[in-house]
Structures are given as structure tokens and as C-alpha cells.
Chain A
């Protein structure tokens, strides 16, 4: 029987990272990676772009081949080998070569489970059709490409999460007609509704059909395609991509009696140790923690897998190392529109009864006159008392990752908006704006926290103006041509320079709610100050203005 100092089960993100790090720590250890896949160390995150022909060469997706791992890192790699069971007493794993069916046994001193997650395929009638694909491995992507062939057709993507959206974009890019079917009332569930709606609008503008609130009831092979029957009508497809979620591959851990954590993961401590001190787990199969709440969490992300694997490898080779957990950071882009999040969003803050305030602040991502400048919006969520930053979402056509990452650092450090308001960020026209978007968002939040600004988000505003009790005023203080181009339905136009002579026209609204709407919120704030001065008591600025209004304009 072969004996190893470290056996790693699973060879994608967490597995190869842990094995390579262990090698750097322990040049003399015998290390093996065992995986049932054909490939190791591939970029699962790149698969949608492989389907979209943005990445043309399969080889580009594979970071390291079994040969490099063998030659450069002296790691034994067994592809197409499935680990069947773990004997914790004897410190052995039993393995089957899936080509020859030969059974093998290997001994370990330390074992690391990096078995990842599998795409869900719930028992919906007809789900076994060969036209229905999940997307998880390079082999899955090969099958999708084979199924698509060289012509274009109709695709249905079930699931409007970030993977579903990326796949939709890429299928469209290949000239396919694409429909995304989402069970929930919004796509991108980790985002607040207005951001999901902005993304939806943008996808629709680019020709992707989105159907929300539709539950798939059955699939049926028909006329050379599949009919997808939903609670919201039937859709014809030549190919179906199912991306409705994943579940952790924790079977080996569970069968060998390891403690399980939230969402069926293998429970680990911050160092990656399972309930057996010689067995570690990292990546999508393992639990982690929420940095903000300290609660156990599941973060099946490539970014998390790598950090968690590094901490586990350091710990199992003798340097105790903690990975404290995640903020739930993620980012997605489709047809140039990006959305990113970290920490808690407004909905989550509300659900967990936090005393939180949110505000949305649009900005240019670089000097407005510099070529390539685009608009972004930053939505901050902070503690109403202390101003501690709790979460951030950024979205728009511009660079949203930079402000988001800055806020992710701030949240990790426990910073408040007051701390971040003055951070000395880099500025020159090609990179940013003289008032950095993050500084600006913090200023506006400070105004909101101190009561100098009262504002309302688009979702709440839309609800309010459509409620039967609405007796307030929507006021647009922009110039006439801007008002003509598009405003929130029902708005009345009084350009701000005409306030001195025309405010009498709306004097009846002094004690009613007045929502002020401009392009982005800046002129609305000017108008807000003037209206307050003239005795209007319940004025609110529409956050995001018309440009980030996720509904129809008129």
C-alpha cells in the first residue's frame, strides 16, 4: 500500500492550492491528489466564457496539468480515481480507478477534503433529457459545446443567479436566443431588488428574455428540442442549462462520521480542521464563517477556496493559520453592466433587524471628461447609530470593483463611514474623480445619518407613489429638455432656477411628502435644501435619480 504524508481528495481550486502550499512548506513530504475528474486545477469561473467562445482554447482554462504538478511540485496526481471511503482508524482511503474499476488503498498521515460541490439536479419530471446540462466542470462545458453544435438556436437557462446570468450573456454572444427562468421574484438574489432590476433591464436591452417568479414544473423532449413547462408558461429550447444551485460534496466526510456544518458542509474551524484532527477540509465542501456575525456560513467561491486551502495547508504542516471567514463578496458582469456586493445588503439588514441605514450614491468612475468615463452607483449600508459600515453594493457600466473592494477592506477592519470619508484615495483623471466615489458615498451617508439629508430608494419610492394613499408630490427640478427626455411617471417640472417665482404652485404640498427627482440625486439635493428652506417639511431626494431608476421612465 502506498503511504502519503498528505492525501488531497479533489484537484480543482482548494485541492491544488493546498497541495502546492504544502509542498512549499514541506519539500520532503509525499503528497498525492486524487480526483475523479479528467482535469485538475481548472478555472471553473471561466467556463461560461469558454461556452461563449471568449476563451477559445480549452487549455487556457487549465491552470496546471497533472504533468506540471508531478514535475514541478513532485505531487502524485490520480485523475479518474474516485475515493470511495475513508478509514479514520487505519488512516487509509479506498479508491477506485474509474477507467479500469481497479480498487486501491492508500495510507495518509494527514487528509484534506477538497471535494467541492455538485450542481443540483432536482427530480423534476423529464430532467434526464440529454439536452439538459449543468455547468460545473470542463467536461460539462465540453458537453454543452457539443450540444450546441455550430448553428445557433434557442436556449433556456434555468436559474438567474450569477452563473445563470454569465451563461445567458455568453449564449447570446454566440447568437443564441436566450430565456432565463428564475423562480424567485428577482434575478441575482444576493442583491437588493433595484440592482437586480437594473441588471434585468440591461439584459433585456441586449435581447435576453427574463422570466421571474416562474417555477419549472417539467421538461419534455419534443420536436427535436425540449419543452420547459413553468408556472408562468411553456418555453421551447434546443438546449437547457440548469444553474439553480449547488450542494456540497460532503458524503465522504459524513459517511466517515465527521461533524457536518451549515447547509450540509463539512464543519471546519478557522484553520480548516474537521472534527478529526488529522483531517482537514477546504473549499466548496467546507463550512466557513461570516466575518461580521461570526456565524457559520457557506461560501462556495473560488476566491474563498484558495484562502481557506492556504490556511489549512499551513496549519496541517505545523504553522497554525486562521482564515477568519467571508463577507459574502461577489461580482458579476453582463454586456458591460456590473454589479458587486459585500457584507449585508439592505434587505438582509432589515430581515436580521439591524438598526441600519442605506443610501445609494451615483458617481463617475473617473473624470467625466476623460475618455471611457462611465457612471456607477454605490449603495452603502451602515449602522444608524455608529456609522459602522455593514455592507456595500456597487453597480453600473463603469468600474464597480474598485469602490467595492475598498469598502470590503473597511468592513473587515470594522471601520465607520466617518473613517472612510477622509481616506486618501488615488486621483488623476484616467483613474478616478477629484471627489473619490467612495469618499462621496460616505459624505452622503454622513448627511443621511445626521439628518441633513432625507432620501428614499427607488423601490420604496415606487411603492409609495403607486399606493392608493399617495397624496404627495413628485417634483423634477431639472431643465425642461431633461424633463422631456425622461422622468419618473407623474413628476411635475419646476426648474430649480424658477423656484423663487413658481414654488407657490405647489404650496399645497408643504406638509405632504415631496420626492425630488433629478438625473443622479445631486440637483435634487440642491432642490431639497431650498424646499426645506421654503417650509416644505417632508422632502425626500430620490436616490439614484432617473439614471438608476429601475422602472419605466416617461
Chain B
């Protein structure tokens, strides 16, 4: 399993979710993305995006920064 780290701190919407989208396309099923984000809109966006795309939101930590782990389906 490959893990792709993304530092999206300081990026404003839509930056972080576009980064996730680009990274996911380059990964294989089961691979993970670990991303750090400061834009608070990401909290809701990543949940909805995973729900709609079927990718798995392994964890989502609200903090400074927000940390999420996403597994490609």
C-alpha cells in the first residue's frame, strides 16, 4: 500500500479538495492519502466527496491543521 502525503495548509477552497482529487486519480485501490488542511470548509467537503465517490474516509481530525486520511476504493 502506498501512502501519499499532501500538505495543503494555507490553501484556500477549492485547493485542498482539488489536491485530493488529483492525488486519488494517480493512486491504486487501497492506497492512502494523508492530508493536512487549514481551510475549514474542507471538513464538510471531504465527507461529502468521499460519500459521493465511494472512497473511504479513514479518519478526520478537526484541529489546527485539520488532518484527514482517505483510502482509494
Contacts and interface: CB of A to CB of B under 8 A. Distances in A.
Given A371-B64, A486-B48, A481 B14 contact: yes
A485 B48 contact: yes
A371 B21 CA distance: 25
Interface string B33-68: 000001111000100110011000000000010000
A479 B18 contact: yes
Interface in A455-513: 478-482, 484-486
Given A478-B14, A519-B14, A484 B53 contact: yes
A514 to B, nearest CB: 21
A374 B41 CA distance: 9
B14 to A, nearest CB: 5
Interface residues of B, number: 19
A547 interface: yes
Contact of B49 (A374, A481, A519): A481
Contacts of A486: 48
Interface residues of A, number: 16
Contacts of B40: 373-374
Contact of B18 (A368, A481, A547): A481
A196 B11 CA distance: 31
Contact of A481 (B12, B21, B41): B21
Interface string B10-28: 1011100110110000000
B38 A369 contact: yes
Contacts of B45: 482, 485
Nearest to B20: A481
A519 B12 CA distance: 12
Contacts of B49: 481, 484-485
Contacts of A478: 14
Contacts of B52: 484-485
B14 A479 contact: yes
A503 B8 CA distance: 31
Most buried by B among A369, A373, A485: A485
Interface in A259-301: none
B50 to A, nearest CB: 10
A368 B14 CA distance: 13
A-B pairs with lowest CB-CB distance, top 10: A481-B21, A485-B48, A482-B14, A481-B17, A371-B64, A485-B49, A479-B18, A368-B12, A485-B45, A369-B38
A158 to B, nearest CB: 32
A431 B41 CA distance: 19
Most buried by A among B9, B13, B64: B13
Interface string A442-461: 00000000000000000000
A373 B41 CA distance: 10
Given A369-B38, A547-B41, A519 B21 contact: no
Given A373-B40, A374-B40, A482 B17 contact: yes
Given A484-B49, A484-B53, A368 B39 contact: yes
Nearest to A480: B21
Nearest to A518: B14
8 contacts: A368-B12, A369-B9, A371-B64, A479-B17, A481-B18, A482-B14, A482-B18, A547-B41
A369 B10 contact: yes
